Chains A and B, each alone.
Chain A
Amino acid sequence: MPRKRRPKLAVWKFASCDGCQLSLLDCEDELLTIAGELEISYFVEASKAVVKGPYDISLVEGSIAAPHDLERIQHVRQISKFVMPIGACATAGGIQGLRNFAKVENYIPLVYARPQVIEALETSTPISAHVPVDFELQGCPINKRQLVEVVSALLQGRKPVVSPHSVCMECKMRGNICVQVALGIPCLGPVTHAGCGAICPTYQRGCYGCYGPKETPNTASLSAWFSQRLGVTEPELLRLFRTFNAGAEPFRQESEAHDH
């Protein structure tokens, strides 16, 4: 029987730090196997060679933050069968999405040496705000194990196993003592999507929400706990929810509830 055509993988970059696509190169033990199963067809950070589209899988890193990217993301959608935004920039607008909360009238007259040559949109938005997406992988940065799992699932034609539960579940599975209950450290674990392996509580600090909201998070209740029991102030609550996933809906609403 003839060998089936290897699916074509493309990796696209928008406004980002490169860390999520680096996760693919960080699969030191799996990379050569992945390259055997997939044809890595477009991956500018890793290769000069470009295989023409259409592509079976497009991993999209970064947020839409510059005018020319508005068209580019449409093009990516058109030539891709499966579009998967990876990381907080692509799924929530990223840390550069903090500009969305700034008073725009203060941003417009920002004085550059040559303001006429700066090409930036006033907002930084996730990929899903511009095109339909097929699966989102959250995290700042994403977890490379989850990336390998999703790609493997696609190759095998099954549903990826990426649990939407909270960091608390992972923390319990690691056998950690709760930093919030035992040490009084504010921790976003109860409302944050799993995937990192609960590293912050494992290192004796509170989760700072870099994986974005879990499924149905009760952020208001957590904020009330923080302020009533731990004395967290309103400006601190605002900052806690307004970081790498500030644009994710539940976190955006919660930070705005404390923006007085």
Chain B
Amino acid sequence: MPSKGQNTRTIKVDYLARVEGEGALHIKIKEGAVAGMQLQIWEPPRFFEAFLRGRYFTEAPDITARICGICPVAYQMSSVHALEDALGVQVDGPLRALRRLIYCGEWIESHALHLFMLHAPDFLGYDDSLRMARDHPELVKMGLQLKKVGNQLVALVGGREIHPINVRVGGFYRVPTKAELAPLAERLKWARDAAVKTVAWVGGFTFPDHEMDYEFVALRHPDEYPFNAGRLVSNRGLDLEVRDYEEHFQEEHIPYTHALHSVLQGRGAYFVGPLARYNLNFDRLPPLAQEAARQAGLGPVCSNPFQSIIVRAVEILHAVDEALRLIESYEMPDAPAVKLEVRAGAGCGCTEAPRGILYHRYRLDEAGLIQEAKIVPPTSQNQKSIEEDLRRFVTGHLDLPQDQLTWQCEQMIRNYDPCISCATHFLKLKLEGE
């Protein structure tokens, strides 16, 4: 064992808690500087892109949903958009509105889970939300009920909360009636008030001082806060069609992790997720959400990832408000799905998962069988930013006691709401002979 001088410190977290999936963190500090930094993801690879080959295109939304139990709708949305692109069809009107509605549900449940159960305990000094509930039962109950409203939306439109069964290429298998949606509007009105309270509550937390000059990347749509559509933009001038994604973003295989790191070509790390969406689309938020953000002390741009908890609360409020609007204006479509004609082709899609942009590309043969699939989840895109954040944070806070520094490093990782199960699924494989 190497001797440990006074100038060497190690921060080691073997099991990162309150993140989805399993990973570890090792940081080595030498002479007041970070000498080594590894965010290790050792979830076993699951090889989705390999076994999607040879499956019929209609199976993709069901299979890719299983990449993540927390954001299955995101995988279903990106896959159906990519496959519709390959087949040359567009889904509009009430079917498009229903897709936005189910996505609202997923944002609400996923953000409420992260905010109340995984992230808030950090700010209030608890190990978990159940312990937090002993002192703050009403807040935790409110969080659980908010999460439930999101789950109810997903379950009504999608059939069930986890791995919904109703999403299909071209639309849905069955669409809800207006009467079926109505009772949810009542729950959503309660949720709107609860979300306003949540924004105010988390706005009152104390945030470590930490701002960096990130390149934020998100979708941007002419008149909506983005879910399923838009151009890919950044705060440093990136402005592309989704189909140009792979010309600008590249994946690197790093030896100590089972997830690929994604970088912007020639520019390096970038940042996706709620903070990026908010910073690039503040003007697309409804007045209610903008006002709540201002009251909580946020301007139109926020560069402190610790404050992402406020942004998640603002996005819950937006998603609740949008869901109400969608339900009020819903008219049942004539058919649950548009007609598809199977043909050979390739297509791609990118939507805003709760954790950021999720890119899918598929190539089909003339029988509709998948020949090639590529999936880039948000957590792998954020991995490099997380490491750079940690490096900067640790360097600036070496005076903190070990326990506190370790905790804040974990908290820094949780700022990104990383989904390690997602990040790991996609180790790229190339079959021999290609």
Q: Is B19 an interface residue (CB 8 A)?
A: yes
Please tell me if the beta carbons of B22 and A13 are within 8 angstroms of each other in the complex.
Answer: yes
The CA of A46 and the CA of B42, in the complex, are separated in Å by 19
Q: Most chain-B CB neighbours within 10 Å: which of A28, A118, A120, A205?
A: A28
- Knowing A48-B128, A239-B59 are in contact, say whether A205-B45 is a contact too (CB < 8 A): no
Q: Which residues of A contact B419 (CB under 8 A)?
A: 18
From B18, B252, B432, contact of A111 by CB (8 A):
B432
Interface size band for A: 35 or more
A197-218 CB contact bits vs B (8 Å, 1 = yes)? 0011011110010100000000
- Knowing A45-B18, A49-B128 are in contact, say whether A200-B253 is a contact too (CB < 8 A): no
Which residues, 244 to 263 on B, are CB-close (under 8 Å) to A?
252-253, 255-256, 258
Q: Is B421 an interface residue (CB 8 A)?
A: yes
A27-69 CB contact bits vs B (8 Å, 1 = yes)? 0110110010000100111111100000000000000011011
Q: Which residues of B contact A99 (CB under 8 A)?
A: 47, 50-51
A contact face: mostly helix, strand, loop, or mixed: loop
Please tell me if the beta carbons of A18 and B69 are within 8 angstroms of each other in the complex.
Answer: yes
The CA of A256 and the CA of B104, in the complex, are separated in Å by 41
Please tell me if the beta carbons of B117 and A106 are within 8 angstroms of each other in the complex.
Answer: no
Please tell me if the beta carbons of B44 and A32 are within 8 angstroms of each other in the complex.
Answer: no
From B48, B50, B421, contact of A18 by CB (8 A):
B421
Please tell me if the beta carbons of B20 and A45 are within 8 angstroms of each other in the complex.
Answer: yes
Interface size band for B: 35 or more
From B117, B162, B255, contact of A114 by CB (8 A):
B255
B138-178 CB contact bits vs A (8 Å, 1 = yes)? 00110011011001000000011111011010001110000
A103-120 CB contact bits vs B (8 Å, 1 = yes)? 000110111111001111
- Knowing A46-B128, A46-B129 are in contact, say whether A199-B70 is a contact too (CB < 8 A): no
Please tell me if the beta carbons of A45 and B51 are within 8 angstroms of each other in the complex.
Answer: no
Please tell me if the beta carbons of A69 and B44 are within 8 angstroms of each other in the complex.
Answer: yes
In the complex, the chain A residue whose C-beta lies closest to that of B17 is A48
Please tell me if the beta carbons of A199 and B145 are within 8 angstroms of each other in the complex.
Answer: no
In the complex, the chain B residue whose C-beta lies closest to that of A63 is B44
- Knowing A203-B174, A239-B55 are in contact, say whether A44-B17 is a contact too (CB < 8 A): yes
Q: Most chain-A CB neighbours within 10 Å: which of B19, B20, B133?
A: B20
In the complex, the chain B residue whose C-beta lies closest to that of A113 is B253
In the complex, the chain A residue whose C-beta lies closest to that of B158 is A203
Please tell me if the beta carbons of B46 and A95 are within 8 angstroms of each other in the complex.
Answer: yes
The CA of A95 and the CA of B247, in the complex, are separated in Å by 31
Q: Is B56 an interface residue (CB 8 A)?
A: yes
The CA of A98 and the CA of B50, in the complex, are separated in Å by 10
Q: Is B39 an interface residue (CB 8 A)?
A: no
B41-69 CB contact bits vs A (8 Å, 1 = yes)? 01111111011000110010011001111
Chosen A-B contacts, 26 in total, with CB atoms closer than 8 Å, are: A13-B22, A17-B72, A18-B68, A19-B70, A26-B147, A26-B161, A28-B151, A29-B144, A31-B144, A32-B140, A44-B15, A44-B22, A45-B17, A45-B19, A48-B18, A96-B44, A106-B431, A113-B428, A124-B46, A141-B162, A141-B163, A203-B165, A204-B336, A205-B173, A239-B59, A244-B66
